[in-house]
């Protein structure tokens, strides 16, 4: 599987029916569309993510009351407003990324409940490579669940950013929620 851009990641995750947090995609600021999304979801925290560049400085987690003003101010060309993982902090088991190639898994993972995938990359609790049949996998809380999800959905040879929760969340009401797929960016 090849995923070359953030936009391809969004399209691929939707096409494959993968579990993610509900989001609305915007081509420029659209107050009515953002308000309609927030009225339908009604949570405390939302993420705003720039979809034109990787590691954007304009990506933010904000309280609901701040979203409209922030989106108006930054006026991005292509971005999403999504339900934030911060609404489920007490339920978060881990955040990580992994890539399965053959019978080997490369992984980064943190059990810090306040970490986003970006935070986790800067300060992971685990960073390694293991054979898929290595018994140590079961001792890294959340890693086996993420590996099982990757196999269940044939997410091989692609990096997946994920969270694992202790209860079902996301659009498919599952314990593993994907943030992004990538291979070429």
CATH number of the domain encompassing residue 39: 3.30.1490.20
Rounded distance between C-alpha atoms, residue 162 and residue 100, angstroms: 14
Confidence of residue 4 (pLDDT cuts 50, 70, 90): confident
Residues 6+ apart with CB under 8 A from 17: 172
Q: Distance between CA 75 and CA 53 in Å, rounded?
A: 14
The per-residue pLDDT for range 94-118, each reduced to its tens digit, is 999 999 999 999 999 999 999 988 8
Please state the pTM of the whole predicted model.
0.91
* % residues pLDDT > 70 (the chain): 97
Same domain (yes/no): 78, 111 = no
Where in the sequence is the domain holding 114, given as residue range(s)? 88-182
Could you give the number of structural domains in the chain? 2
Of 37, 54, 83, the position where a domain reaches its end is 83
- 74 and 92 assigned to the same domain: no
- pLDDT score at 185: 54
Can you list the positions of beta strands (E) in the chain?
A: 23-26, 45-50, 60-63, 79-83, 92-101, 104-110, 126-131, 159-169, 174-182
Cα(154)–Cα(156) distance, rounded to whole angstroms?
6
Mind listing the pLDDT tens digit for each residue in 126-173?
Answer: 999 999 999 999 999 999 999 999 999 999 999 999 999 999 999 999
Is residue 35 assigned to a domain?
yes
Task: Give the whole-angstrom CA distance, residue 32 versus residue 41.
Answer: 14
CA atoms within 13 A on the CB side of 109: 25
Question: Has residue 35 got a pLDDT over 60?
Answer: yes
Q: Cα–Cα distances in Å, from 137 out to 122, 128, 129, 134?
A: 22, 11, 10, 6
Q: Is residue 32 part of a domain?
A: yes
Note whether 78 and 99 are same-domain residues: no
User: Are 55 and 116 found together in one domain?
Assistant: no
Q: Give 57-86 pLDDT, tens digit per residue.
A: 677 899 999 999 999 998 888 999 999 999
106 shares its domain with 78: no
Establish if 70 belongs to a structural domain. yes
In a domain, 157, yes or no: yes
Q: Which of these three, 43, 60, 83, is where a domain ends?
A: 83
Q: Is residue 9 part of a domain?
A: no
The helix-helix angle for 64-74 and 31-41 (nearest 10°) equals 160
């Amino acid at each position: 599987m090849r995923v070359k851009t953030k936009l391809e990641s969004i399209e691929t995750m939707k096409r494959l029916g993968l579990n993610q947090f509900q989001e609305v995609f915007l081509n420029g600021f659209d107050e009515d569309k953002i308000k309609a999304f927030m009225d339908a979801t009604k949570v405390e925290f939302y993420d705003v993510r720039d979809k034109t560049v990787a590691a954007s400085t304009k990506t933010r987690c904000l309280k609901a009351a701040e979203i409209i003003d922030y989106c108006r101010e930054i006026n991005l060309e292509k971005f999403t407003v999504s339900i934030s993982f911060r609404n489920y902090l007490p339920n978060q088991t881990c955040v990580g990324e992994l890539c399965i190639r053959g019978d080997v898994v490369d992984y980064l993972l943190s059990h810090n409940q306040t970490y986003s995938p970006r935070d986790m990359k800067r300060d992971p609790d685990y960073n390694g490579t293991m054979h898929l049949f290595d018994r140590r996998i079961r001792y890294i809380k959340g890693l086996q669940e993420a590996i099982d999800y990757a196999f269940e959905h044939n997410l091989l040879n692609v990096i997946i950013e994920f969270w694992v929760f202790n209860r079902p969340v996301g659009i498919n009401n599952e314990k593993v929620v994907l943030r992004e797929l990538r291979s070429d960016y």
